[in-house]
Amino acid sequence: MDENKKRIQEMLPMPIKRRYNHYLRLERRLSANTLDAYEKDLDKFLGFLSEEKVGFREVSLDNLHHFIAGLYDIGIHSRSVARIISGVRSFYRFLTLEKEMDYDPTDLLEMPRIGRQLPEVLSLEEIDNMIGVIDLSMPEGQRNRAILEVLYSCGLRVSELCDLKLSDLFLNEGFIRVKGKGTKERLVPISQKAIGELKNWFYDRNVIQIKPGHEDYVFLSIRRGTQLSRITIFYWVKETALAAGIIKKISPHTFRHSFATHLLDGGANLRVIQMMLGHEKIAATEIYTHISRSRLREEILLHHPRNNRSLTKEDVL
């Protein structure tokens, strides 16, 4: 066993770790990806405590500050530090709820200041350009067209897209069932364009040798006949953006941002967008109002005559 892992296991009794995992999965209803991130962040913290020879029940605010300073020293970004702090706080909240500790040492711990960074958004023309450069003569061409259309039409997270199943499609009614974070389900309308691309993909899908256990997944690896992975989608979305001449920092999530922003620009109610995205809190959806304002400001600076530097003196007089 790796020496570091052994030290971490010695720091935290296995029964407590099992109960904490149970708390995160069943009471906090965290997704598998978030649960994995919380466990890794807790391991970082326990590794630090092991080196400092401090038990997890004896942690002070000074210990926490020392831990956070060490994260910054090795170049971890403020946003990642905030996530790690959130994981440590969750752990001590659990310990106090379970009466394993009488106090929570993270109560006075402040989160790092993180400036709001607006995500990239694609224009409809850029989305059409990306779809247009997909080579339909390739075995995966029609599948990839369908993926981009579904991402944009329904505003899905990439994990939701990978987990989408044939039994979740209600194409005659124009809806799909999406299993989001914390196993929460929602019904999302799907466009006729996306439905058409899906039906075209099904012709290709029907000739794939599908591995047992993967028969119900909508999007499959052409060669392996298994559920498509998030990494695969991340990779070719970036490749497709480059092929379309787009220099923005693009990921599958960019289509989700574009979906929400275009809905808001078109006059959709913020609460409706919140439901479509599966956000638990409206605050998570409100970032798209900032994107719309930012885009509006750019349009004004670009097109308003008072901001047009190409105007001559005669134009002004």
Q: What CATH number is given to the structural domain containing 34? A: 1.10.150
Average pLDDT (41-56) is 86
| Shared-domain flag, residues 258 and 215 | yes
**Whether residue 25 has pLDDT greater than 80:** yes
Residues 166 and 20 occupy one common structural domain: no
Residue tagged 């149970």 (tokens): 22
User: 189-197 long-range contacts, Cβ below 8 Å, gap at least 24?
Assistant: 189/154, 189/276, 190/150, 190/153, 190/154, 191/149, 191/153, 193/149, 193/153, 194/146, 194/149, 194/150, 194/152, 194/153, 194/154, 195/171, 197/142, 197/145, 197/146, 197/149, 197/150
Same domain (yes/no): 87, 166: no
Question: What integer is the mean pLDDT of 188-192?
Answer: 91
| Average pLDDT for 11-40 | 81
Give the confidence band of 200 by pLDDT, cuts at 50, 70, 90.
very high
Q: Is there a single domain that holds both residue 90 and residue 192? A: no
Which CATH number covers residue 215? 1.10.443.10
How many structural domains is the chain composed of? 2
Q: Is residue 107 a part of any domain in this protein? A: no
**Could you tell me the pLDDT band of residue 117, with boundaries at 50, 70 and 90?**
low
Q: Which H or E element spans position 90? A: helix 78-97
Residue 69: inside a domain: yes
Q: Whole-angstrom Cα distance, residue 302 to residue 275? A: 34
135 and 280 share one domain: yes
Both 258 and 134 in one domain: the answer is yes
Q: Do residue 182 and residue 277 come from a single domain?
A: yes
Say yes or no: 92 and 131 in one domain.
Answer: no
143-158 pLDDT, tens per residue?
A: 999 999 999 999 898 8
Catalogue the active-site residues: 157, 181, 253, 256, 279, 288
Phi, psi of 187 (to 5 degrees): -100, 130
pLDDT recorded at residue 159: 87
Identify the domain boundary among 97, 114, 140.
97
Q: Are residues 288 and 155 in the same domain?
A: yes
Q: Which residue range(s) make up the domain with 23?
A: 3-97
Asked, for residue 115, whether it belongs to a domain, the answer is no
Is a pLDDT exceeding 60 seen at residue 38?
A: yes
* Residue 118 domain-assigned (yes or no): no
Q: pLDDT grade, residue 197 (50/70/90)? A: very high
pTM: 0.60
How far apart CA 235 and CA 46 sit, in angstroms, is 34
Q: Give yes or no: residues 38 and 92 share one domain.
A: yes
